[in-house]
A = this chain, B = another copy of it.
Amino acid sequence: MASHGGLMTTGDLSVRTGLSLRSIRYYEEVGLVLPIERSPGGHRLYGDAALQRVLLIMKMKPLDFTLDEMGAVLTALDEVRLEDASAATQAREKLAMFAALVEQRYEWLKERLQIAEEFRAQLRAEVEPTQPRAPRR
């Protein structure tokens, strides 16, 4: 486990996040989450930053962002932490735009929940014995 000097294999990352191996590899393919290095034999080795990125990605997923969009958010978040003050300020502006987008998506998600609730009620009505009184047993 820690036999790689604090680094994680794909399997470790998978266990710690719940994501499939395929997803993790795909995230590398599209440049979303990169391993720090490869073992001599070619195994991916990830650092803690990668774990954090994956966890953030999983938090964004309910809002139905594309991987591209999430990549942009992650990049902006990284930039905000930069020393360079002007770059950080610029990144903060980007983040503000994303935050607005997040608000929209959040409202949209709430609407979906409400629609789901309605359907649930409707289906219940259809299933239950249409009688006014419950035929107890």
- A-to-B contact residues, CB < 8 Å: 56, 58-63, 77, 80, 92, 95-96, 98-99, 102-103, 105-106, 109-110, 112-113, 115-120, 122-124, 126-127
Q: A58-B115, A62-B116, A80-B126 are in contact. List 20 more A-B contacts (CB 8 A).
A: A56-B119, A59-B115, A59-B119, A59-B122, A60-B119, A62-B119, A63-B119, A95-B123, A99-B120, A99-B123, A99-B127, A102-B119, A102-B120, A102-B123, A103-B120, A106-B117, A106-B120, A109-B113, A109-B116, A110-B113
> In the complex the two chains form, what is the Cα distance from A118 to B60 in whole Å?
10
Q: Which residues of B contact A61 (CB under 8 A)?
A: 115
Closest chain B CB from A18 CB (angstroms): 13
Q: Which residues of B contact A62 (CB under 8 A)?
A: 112-113, 115-116, 119
